[in-house]
Amino acid sequence: MKKSLETTKNMIRLSFGADAYSLGYHWTYNITKNLEQFEKTNFQLIDPMAKKFHPERKAGDLSAYGDQELALLESLTEGKKFNKTRFISIWENIWRVGYNDWIDNATKIRLASNHGSNSNDLNPVSRIAPLFLIENMNLNEMKEVVEEFIGITHNNLEVKDFGKFIVHLLSEIQSGGEIKKSIEKIKDEYPFCKEYIERGLEYCNYTWKELMEKEIPTYCEIDGSGPLTIYLLCTFWNSPKDMFAYNVVFDGDTCGRSGILALFVGMTREFPLFADEWYEKLCKRNKIEELLEKF
């Protein structure tokens, strides 16, 4: 899982920036509205359109996923390794005093019971980017850390399996593998999420317009955004700009998918120019930079 430190940091910057960009389109469940908005503002940061869920968030803010990813980054600055107890302590502090955005059921269950929920939401997989700062881990060790991290809030076999699959797929790509061939090569090793991976490959037989007409699921759960993430990676592999554009147009859990897309784009390419504004205008940019400087 080796990559230069600066590449990893830029990937993390892209992950936070993509979260803020995707927040503008998050949970609208209205493809027509999202497409019309994208045609007006393209890759600019915008206030969240779904005010029901994000009444106090503005352009440049992170989603709740991004806030939790920031907690993970902060937790890693001590010891430069994943410490479950330290992360949980920082993570719990997010919610203690008047958190001003939507709090999902998985978070509520964790806070009430001190155990991970059985939620099958995709979003914890979108928050793993900072884990790539940990040095000297092989693939199996990385998968173990990812599984432990996901299980804190989502103790669900499908979600944990998908997280391990994503890490494995990135390793294959970094070793020179082609995206679709690499997916085919490793998907059988992940039986709890294999059907969602294969559904994503099936989506690749259709254009984005055809998928929108089919009204494929785009919701938070892994059977919704999981296959769509595979489709976006495969279909737009050679055009990250389109990858992020169609992610927000497809509505639903735009933020849950964006972190995974950023992981692949950030670790295999230079920081994309179209995403410069996302990070430069990020409200918590200074905090992120302070933490990254500790590595």
Amino acid letter for position 171: S
Amino acid letter for position 92: E
Question: pLDDT by residue (tens digit) across 183-219?
Answer: 999 999 999 999 999 999 999 999 999 999 999 999 9
Q: What is the mean pLDDT of the chain?
A: 97
- Of the chain, the percentage scoring pLDDT greater than 90 comes to 98
Q: What CATH number does the domain located at 5-292 have?
A: 1.10.4080.10
**Can you name the residues that pair with 154 across neighbouring β-strands?**
117
Domain extents in the chain: 5-292
Helix (H, G, I), strand (E, B) or coil at 221: strand
Question: pLDDT by residue (tens digit) across 140-153?
Answer: 999 999 999 999 99
Instruction: Give the integer Cα–Cα distance in Å for 18 and 260.
Output: 10
Determine the average pLDDT of the residues in 249-254.
Answer: 97
Query: Residue 104: CB partners within 8 Å, gap ≥ 6?
Result: 64, 119, 121, 123, 220
- Crossing angle of helices 157-174/194-203, nearest 10°? 60
Instruction: Give the integer Cα–Cα distance in Å for 200 and 165.
Output: 14
Q: Which two tokens stand for residue 54?
A: 């994000």
